[in-house]
């Protein structure tokens, strides 16, 4: 073989070997970053099917339980209280008279009800600017009654995996018995909710016996049936679809948000690149972040979103994902807070998270607070002046 041919062969061998060496180098020095599974959310909550959230346990779950108990105590129990030989709180529409404990209001006093509605509206705006959608996550009637329906689901059918297994199983005596038991409990809750609702507008101590005797007024019976059916339809049938597609508050909330509004967020810097690993694995050696891609945050979400995709209008701020993630971090031996309540400004390192409370002193919060205070003062002054003339 000539020298020229040998030289050409050597050059061609170097060219062929170069890509091989370049392709092998990265594999030795640094493993490729694990890509985010694009189909994970679809696999967990198939589109068009009912979302079956996993039961979350933790500090925020306990707060949600407390909120449900507190709000439903007011709704179910207050109408049974008496005040001076009459129902303590009664909005008697047929007689055009409203009783709120010791206060008696007629149709000429609707200005006070209007002021009360304004207080609720501005209070919601002010609270949303400070703390985001905490109202949605803890006190909204849709959230509260959906939570009650989920309690019934867990009580009768079991947690998420058991419910999914039951849905896929063929109809037999066991499935019929479980479904019938759940339907009965849901009917009782919705029926009593409707009866209680009507009891805010007619004397409930008289309405309940009359209802079971079949002698209750037609208007009150219609109100009870209508509200009971709407509770069933929205809380059991529609559930998360109300928050996803029907709630107007979810659409205009962004107008009240700023960089200092409290939100639930996933710490991308700390969590990425995500990837599964053993509990004993050294994450520094693997080049992975704290997120082990277990999808528990998605499984517990009542609206089925992945909080790791960033802030979304569907998020109701219930913090179920925080409880789920904190539990996983504890098991892995990592610090809590991969998913947490924070602000956009803190995430972007504009200020430390310890300064979040200090950011309450900002113009938007002060503006809503000032308007709210003025309306409250006007309401109280009007009532106190009126009480000097009329006291029930």
Count CA atoms closer than 13 A to 392's CA, side-chain side.
Answer: 18
State the burial class of residue 128 (Cβ atoms within 10 Å of its Cβ: 0-12, 13-18, 19+): buried
Tokens linked to 306? 């992945």
| Count of CB atoms situated within 10 Å of the CB of 269 | 9
Buried b / exposed e along 281-314 (16+ C-beta atoms within 10 A): eeeeeeebbbbbbebbbbbbbbbbbbbbeebebb
Dist. CA 23–CA 203, nearest whole Å: 81
Do 339 and 310 meet the contact criterion of CB atoms below 8 Å apart? no
Identify which of 194, 199, 203 has the alpha carbon closest to the alpha carbon of residue 228: 194
Handedness of CA 346, 350, 354, 360 (dihedral sign): negative
Tokens linked to 84? 């001076």
Question: pLDDT under 70 in the chain at which residues?
Answer: 1-48, 387-392
pLDDT of residue 182: 96
First and final C-alpha spacing in the chain: 119
pLDDT of residue 13: 47
Handedness of CA 391, 119, 133, 196 (dihedral sign): positive
Tokens linked to 217? 């007024």
pTM of the full structure: 0.80
Handedness of CA 76, 185, 232, 144 (dihedral sign): positive
pLDDT, one tens digit per residue, over 98-113 is: 888 888 888 777 888 8
Q: Which residues on neighbouring strands pair with residue 91, listed in sequence order?
A: 98
Q: Mark out the alpha helices in 47-109 (DSSP H runs).
A: 59-77
pLDDT of residue 163: 92
Dist. CA 74–CA 21, nearest whole Å: 72
pLDDT of residue 43: 52
Identify which of 220, 204, 246, 259 has the alpha carbon closest to the alpha carbon of residue 90: 204
Tokens linked to 341? 């309540």
Q: Which residues on neighbouring strands pair with residue 66, listed in sequence order?
A: none
Identify which of 334, 264, 343 has the alpha carbon closest to the alpha carbon of residue 297: 264
Do 320 and 245 meet the contact criterion of CB atoms below 8 Å apart? no
Do 104 and 286 meet the contact criterion of CB atoms below 8 Å apart? no
Q: What stretches of the chain adopt beta strand conformation (E)?
A: 89-92, 97-100, 103-106, 263-266, 339-342
Dist. CA 275–CA 2, nearest whole Å: 55
Buried b / exposed e along 10-24 (16+ C-beta atoms within 10 A): eeeeeeeeeeeeeee
pLDDT of residue 26: 46
Tokens linked to 210? 């009359």
Handedness of CA 70, 158, 231, 184 (dihedral sign): negative
Q: Which residue has the tokens 């009593």?
A: 192
């Amino acid at each position: 073989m000539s020298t020229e041919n040998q030289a050409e062969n050597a050059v061609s061998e170097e060219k062929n070997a170069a890509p091989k060496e370049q392709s092998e180098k990265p594999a030795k020095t640094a493993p490729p970053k694990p890509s985010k599974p694009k189909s994970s959310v679809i696999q967990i909550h198939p589109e068009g099917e009912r979302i079956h959230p996993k039961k979350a346990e933790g500090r925020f779950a306990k707060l949600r339980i407390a909120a449900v108990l507190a709000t439903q105590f007011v709704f179910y129990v207050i109408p049974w209280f008496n005040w001076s030989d009459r129902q303590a709180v009664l909005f008697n529409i047929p007689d055009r008279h409203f009783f709120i404990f010791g206060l008696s209001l007629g149709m000429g006093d609707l200005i006070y009800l209007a002021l009360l509605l304004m207080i609720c509206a501005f209070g919601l705006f002010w609270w949303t600017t400070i703390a985001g959608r905490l109202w949605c996550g803890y006190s909204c009637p849709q959230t509260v009654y959906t939570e009650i329906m989920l309690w019934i689901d867990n009580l009768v059918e079991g947690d998420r995996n058991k419910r999914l297994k039951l849905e896929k199983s063929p109809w037999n005596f066991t499935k019929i018995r479980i479904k019938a038991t759940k339907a009965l409990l849901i009917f009782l809750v919705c029926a009593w909710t409707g009866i209680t609702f009507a009891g805010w507008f007619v004397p409930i101590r008289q309405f309940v016996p009359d209802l079971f005797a079949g002698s209750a007024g037609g208007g009150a019976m219609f109100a009870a049936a209508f509200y009971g059916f709407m509770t069933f339809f929205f809380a059991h049938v529609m559930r998360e679809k109300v928050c996803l597609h029907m709630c107007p508050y979810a659409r205009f909330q962004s107008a009240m948000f700023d960089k200092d509004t409290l939100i639930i967020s996933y710490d991308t810097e700390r969590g990425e690149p995500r990837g599964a690993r053993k509990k004993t694995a050294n994450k520094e050696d693997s080049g992975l972040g704290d997120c082990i891609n277990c999808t528990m945050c998605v499984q517990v979400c009542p609206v089925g979103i992945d909080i790791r995709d960033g802030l979304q209008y569907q998020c109701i701020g219930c913090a179920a994902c925080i409880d789920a993630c904190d539990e996983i971090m504890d098991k892995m031996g990592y610090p809590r807070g991969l998913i947490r309540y924070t602000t956009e400004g803190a995430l972007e390192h504009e200020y430390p998270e310890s300064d979040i409370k200090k950011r309450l002193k900002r113009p938007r919060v002060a503006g809503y607070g000032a308007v709210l205070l003025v309306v409250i003062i006007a309401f109280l002054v009007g009532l106190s002046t009126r009480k000097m003339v009329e006291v029930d």
